[in-house]
Chains A and B, each alone.
Chain A
């Protein structure tokens, strides 16, 4: 009975799935397949070599400090960094006293119970980066986690910042022109063309436009590529400040486990030595 019922049920489900397949196939075969510009011209970010890549990667504090400066002077106009506290900056090589100074350069909103108003005060090391009010077009995301919230995030940030192009003359790596392939493709007013952005048009204008836009204290030449790399590195740190500690701890764990597993294997072989037949004897 169960088997008969089972066969019937199975045939019904498989049948309906197949009907769906046939219907889908007919629709697919009879439709014209228009590939979209987003699909054809979207570009995956190129790999950038960062000091913190790979299982042995370490932060380059000098780079992170440069990246902090780029964030502060450029990104922070529109993007907040709300999960990061000023005190965290000690981890990228600032002293306690320096952090106090850095924090005070920011205005942090504070609710004043006696007036009922929100007033801004100079930041304290214990404060988080302040929220950033934004009234323009688009929706600038908080950047604390951005490199984890995008696929291949660190490279993506760098690619996006350096990837702005003119849609009218844009050609992809195979030399195919966007305008020739998709004459109807348009970048709406207030949007900017960038092949690394999922739908190719984003509301953010190229934020890093000229070399020397940020003056680096360590004398590094502030090219657009350099600034993009530095801020991408800084945002990788804000997204996962414990990355270096994590990898270092990982080596201890893995090393110990290898040792313990080899011992466990030897003990296993040892215990089974008396009862396990030689390979040739089995079967």
Chain B
């Protein structure tokens, strides 16, 4: 064997392929290439995962809001996951307006009760992000226009929301989003609690 392999040219390797050793040999080559492939794929995982939110960002995924200072008819803007959050204490008049609307006539039918927590029907917590293209609607800060339905008005493309922050007019497809939140006491809500 040694004699013949000694002077072999690449061609003889191909000839070798016809004998019985071929399967084992091919198997090793295939296994080596596969191992390299698996290794390469495994390393991609951290390279992709690094773009996901980092620990400090995830740590800010819940926000506590103290609502004791909000007076009737007033709203505050807070920041939840780097986006505006509107918290509004409705007046009895606004609650009545919201409840008087026939739900079936709405684009995104929801009652005020469905959009608030039991026992806190006057506290309306919504994202301050228009469901059309993500602008911040007006109406949360003092002196801003609230639109013709007394809720919020998005200046970008004219979406109008009512006192329950439901879409009434304009291009937005759905009501302003209600984030996950809960009351930890009568005056504190925690937003983002899963």
Interface set, chain B 40-99, CB cutoff 8 A to A: 42, 55-56, 59-60
CB distance A266 to B6 under 8 Å? Answer: no
* Secondary structure of the B contact surface, majority rule: helix
- State whether B39 touches A260 (Cβ < 8 A): yes
* A274: B residues at CB distance < 8 A: 5, 8, 10, 12-13, 16
From known contacts A259-B35, A260-B36, A275-B13, infer whether A270 and B29 are also in contact, taking CB-CB under 8 Å: yes
The A-B contact count (CB < 8 A) is 60
Question: Contact residue range for chain A?
Answer: 20 to 34
Known contacts: A257-B39, A274-B8, A274-B12. The answer to whether A263 contacts B56 by CB under 8 A is: no
Tell me whether B25 is interfacial, beta carbon within 8 Å: yes
A90 to chain B: closest residue by CB: B59
The distance in angstroms between the C-alpha atoms of A274 and B5, with both chains bound, is 5
Which residues of chain A from 236 to 283 have a CB within 8 Å of any chain B CB?
256-257, 259-260, 263-264, 266-267, 270-271, 273-278, 281
Q: Are A260 and B12 in contact (CB under 8 A)?
A: no
Q: How large is the interface on B (under 10, 10 to 19, 20 to 34, 35 or more residues)?
A: 20 to 34
Q: CB < 8 Å: which of A87, A126, A275, A278 contacts B9?
A: A275
A191 at the interface (CB under 8 A from B): no
B39 touches A267 (CB 8 A): no
Q: Any chain A CB within 8 A of the CB of B188?
A: no
Q: Does B156 count as interface, using CB distance less than 8 angstroms?
A: no
A residues near B9, Cβ cutoff 8 Å: 275
| Chain A residue contacts of B6, Cβ below 8 A | 277-278, 281
Given A260-B39, A274-B13, A275-B9, A267:B28 Cβ within 8 A = yes
Decide yes or no whether A125 CB sits under 8 A from chain B.
Answer: yes
Do B35 and A260 touch across chains, with their CB atoms under 8 A apart? yes
Whether, in the assembled complex, A85 has its beta carbon less than 8 Å from a beta carbon of chain B, the answer is yes
Chain A residues with CB under 8 Å of B2's CB are 277-278, 281
- Residue B31, interface by CB 8 Å: yes
Given contacts A260-B35, A263-B31, A266-B32, contact A275 B59 (CB under 8 A): no
* A interface footprint on B136-175 (CB within 8 Å = 1, 0 otherwise): 0000000000000000000000000000000000000000
What residues on B are CB-neighbors of A281 within 8 Å? 2, 6
Q: What chain B residues lie within 8 Å of A275 (beta carbons)? A: 5, 8-10, 13
12 A-B pairs within 8 Å (CB atoms) are namely A125-B59, A256-B35, A264-B32, A267-B28, A270-B25, A270-B29, A273-B5, A274-B16, A275-B5, A275-B10, A278-B5, A281-B6
